[in-house]
């Protein structure tokens, strides 16, 4: 049975399906970047809102900005934007449900004007984004907007031909302003600390060049709340698609898997109405900073710690790493001695509880989150997740051994491109070539890899760090197995 609106009456005999009237759904949210995470997190919260409260004005219109979203567009056309969410519990059981909160999908490269019109429509109250760390178009080391991006150059010269998220937001807000329509709230749902503040800064830098009057209006009227988002969402493998078919008889071309845990903390500063997500456990707070810092520095950095070391050793998944005492202890030490001391204002008991929950989440054997997913785009992730912790510890004279070890391991990983058993690593990174080229100069020039200021800033000038890094990177190149080196640190 293929997943589609017309087949729901049959499918609901085996798994839970939307009970609200999807025909009557209106678009209240336009979401840019409909990947697995949006569909396991925000779209799931909205689905539950529709289920529980029938607030049908909060349907979602998904938008894909890139050519490679064409496949998604086609699948969604065939499936009426429906998909199955499979929650994988630690005891091995799965919960499957069909999610119906996305009511339409637009491929921006085909229909740019439709996207602008949809965002500018008075029914749209929120434009949200998951465009990943790389999508924000800022220079990693300076934090400034990157005006050299050819798409940005194009949008500045042709404001009516948007290509990036900035071009679309500006075109839609210009239209709303022209029609005296209240602005929408711009809600970033990416793992970037101060995601809303960063987005606002980038947006204003862009619009000031494109349309200074609009920039003033945006600065006055539009809100960009900061948010902390959390739910581990592994890549859906062909085995999952097959098991959905074999167990439930459902053919879904784009199902999503996730863990049971879910969290969303949002700053309550919306400039237009918002859904009552607090009824579903979303935490609305006045300052999201401590939550996002805790999440990014413990969970995302912790993932990278296990991902990079695990990949080199040959562990395929995060739970396999957690099942190995050396890796689990290494992670715990990293969290306790390097991250916890820099978390500052967060209450100690809360942090301890968070860490305990986190290690249980990572250890969930049913989730099989691949180390290759975690290591993907490390060049964008580590400067946000791990390097700030290292820098703060350098300033405070704190421990830097674990974070430094990860950077040395990452260098070796980028140079060799294979694990210790000689198996090729799956490296997915837009900066893969640069990483490989610099890493391979390491033998003979031990700090070569650090000479990438866009990633490491000026770390290479810190004597204490360079000393530790050099000793560690040398140990890798002398052929010591990573597990042995980790054991020595624990
Ligand atoms: C992961 C995240 O890719 C990564 O680096 O740490 O995707 C993580 O699974 C999510 O942020 C969980 O909320």
Residue 140 has pLDDT above 80, yes or no: no
Q: Atom 9, ligand 1: which residue's CA is nearest?
A: 232
CA 88 to ligand 1 centroid distance, Å: 16
Confidence band of 143 (pLDDT split at 50, 70, 90): confident
Q: Where are the alpha helices (DSSP H) in 144-300?
A: 150-157, 165-178, 195-210, 212-221, 238-248, 289-294
Q: Mean pLDDT of all residues in the chain? A: 96
pLDDT value for 139: 80
Q: Atom 3, ligand 1: which residue's CA is nearest?
A: 374
pLDDT tens, position by position, 252-288: 999 999 999 999 999 999 999 999 999 999 999 999 9
pTM confidence score: 0.95
pLDDT tens, position by position, 65-110: 999 899 999 999 999 999 999 999 999 999 999 999 999 999 999 9
For ligand 1, pick from 303, 368, 380, 426 the residue to mutate: most ligand atoms within 8 Å of CB: 303
Q: Is 38 in the pocket of ligand 1 (CB under 6 A)?
A: no
**For residue 111, with 0-12 CB atoms within 10 Å meaning exposed, 13-18 middle and 19 or more buried, which class applies?**
middle
- Rounded to 5 degrees, φ, ψ at 17 are -130, 160
Is 60 in contact with 50 (CB distance < 8 Å)? Answer: no
Q: Is 185 in the pocket of ligand 1 (CB under 6 A)?
A: no
């Amino acid at each position: 049975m293929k997943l589609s609106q017309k087949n729901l009456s049959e499918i609901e005999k085996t798994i839970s399906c939307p009970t609200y009237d999807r025909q009557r759904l209106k678009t209240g949210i336009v979401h840019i970047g409909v990947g697995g995470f949006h569909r396991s997190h925000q779209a799931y919260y909205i689905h539950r809102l529709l289920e529980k409260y029938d607030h049908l004005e909060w349907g979602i219109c998904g938008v894909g900005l890139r050519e490679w979203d064409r496949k998604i567009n086609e699948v969604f056309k065939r499936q009426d934007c429906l998909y199955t969410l499979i929650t994988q519990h630690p005891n091995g059981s799965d919960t499957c449900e069909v999610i119906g909160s996305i009511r339409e999908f637009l491929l921006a490269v085909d229909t740019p004007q439709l996207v602008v019109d949809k965002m500018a429509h008075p029914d749209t109250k929120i434009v949200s984004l998951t465009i990943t760390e790389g999508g924000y178009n800022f220079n990693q080391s300076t934090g400034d907007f990157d005006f050299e991006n050819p798409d940005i150059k194009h949008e500045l010269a042709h404001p009516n031909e948007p290509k990036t998220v900035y071009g679309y937001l500006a075109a839609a807000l210009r239209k709303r302003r022209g029609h005296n329509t209240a602005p929408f709230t711009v809600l970033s749902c990416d793992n970037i600390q101060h995601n809303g503040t960063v987005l606002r800064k980038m947006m204003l830098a862009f619009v000031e060049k494109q349309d200074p009057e609009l920039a003033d209006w945006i600065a006055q009227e539009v809100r960009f709340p900061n948010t902390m988002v959390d739910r581990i969402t592994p890549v859906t493998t062909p085995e999952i698609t097959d098991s959905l078919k074999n167990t439930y008889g459902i053919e879904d071309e784009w199902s999503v898997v996730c863990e049971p845990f879910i969290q969303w903390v949002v700053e309550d500063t919306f400039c237009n109405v918002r859904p009552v997500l607090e009824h579903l456990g979303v935490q609305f707070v006045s300052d999201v900073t401590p939550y996002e810092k805790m999440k990014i520095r413990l969970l995302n950095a912790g993932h990278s710690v296990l991902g990079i070391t695990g990949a080199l050793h040959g562990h395929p998944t995060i739970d396999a790493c957690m099942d190995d005492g050396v890796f689990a202890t290494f992670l715990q030490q990293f969290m306790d001695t390097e991250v916890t001391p820099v978390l500052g204002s967060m209450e100690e008991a809360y942090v301890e509880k968070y860490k305990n929950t986190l290690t249980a989440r990572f250890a969930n054997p049913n989730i099989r989150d691949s180390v290759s997913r975690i290591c993907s785009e490390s060049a964008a992730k580590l400067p946000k997740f791990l390097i700030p912790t290292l820098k703060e510890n350098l300033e405070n004279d704190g421990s830097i051994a674990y974070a430094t070890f990860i950077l040395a391991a990452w260098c070796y990983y980028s140079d060799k491109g294979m694990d210790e058993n000689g198996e090729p690593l799956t490296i997915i990174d837009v900066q893969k070539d640069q990483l490989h080229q610099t890493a391979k100069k390491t033998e003979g020039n031990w700090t070569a890899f650090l000479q990438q200021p866009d990633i490491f800033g000026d770390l290479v000038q810190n004597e204490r760090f360079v000393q530790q890094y050099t000793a560690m990177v040398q140990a890798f190149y002398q052929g010591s197995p990573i597990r042995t080196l980790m054991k020595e640190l624990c």
